Amino acid sequence: QKEVEQDPGPLSVPEGAIVSLNCTYSNSAFQYFMWYRQYSRKGPELLMYTYSSGNKEDGRFTAQVDKSSKYISLFIRDSQPSDSATYLCAMSGMGAGGTSYGKLTFGQGTILTVHP
């Protein structure tokens, strides 16, 4: 079983749609959960991070973590064509001092296209 699994898509939605992106994982040691956005041939750009289970909202983006199911989600409301990118989930354990451990394990990435 892969440590982190993410449906690669591609996912195509009309502008204004609600987008749901998901990852599952197998490693119980993961405590920090991140979502990155990556444009073609560019570096991953951090969108959100969440510690342990729960929800976190930032503008049009909501991240959810369910550690009991080992399942994380990213919701994008009112999606825009500028949201078109690859979305990567990433996870890490807990390092010294309670901060995230720097070794991130990434999902495959989901390619999202929002068409006008």
Cis peptide before 8 (omega within 30 of 0): no
Q: How far is residue 76's CA from residue 13's CA, in Å, rounded to a whole number?
A: 11
Least distance from C-beta 62 to other proteins, angstroms?
Answer: 18
Q: How far is residue 29's CA from residue 26's CA, in Å, rounded to a whole number?
A: 9
Q: How far is residue 82's CA from residue 101's CA, in Å, rounded to a whole number?
A: 31
Per the CB < 8 A criterion, the answer to whether 55 and 9 are in contact is no
Q: Is 41 in the site for other proteins (CB under 8 A)?
A: yes
Helix (H) or strand (E) segment spanning residue 76: strand 71-76
Question: Out of 49, 56, 61, 67, which residue is the one contacting other proteins (CB under 8 A)?
Answer: 49
Footprint of other proteins on residues 82-101 (CB under 8 A)?
88, 90, 97, 99-100
Q: State the residue for tokens 């996912």.
A: 11
Q: Which lies closer to other proteins via its Cβ, residue 49 or residue 61?
A: 49
Query: Total residues contacting other proteins (rule CB under 8 A)?
Result: 24
Least distance from C-beta 99 to other proteins, angstroms?
Answer: 5
Q: Is 116 in the site for other proteins (CB under 8 A)?
A: no
Question: Out of 85, 109, 110, 112, which residue is the one contacting other proteins (CB under 8 A)?
Answer: 109
Q: Is 61 in the site for other proteins (CB under 8 A)?
A: no
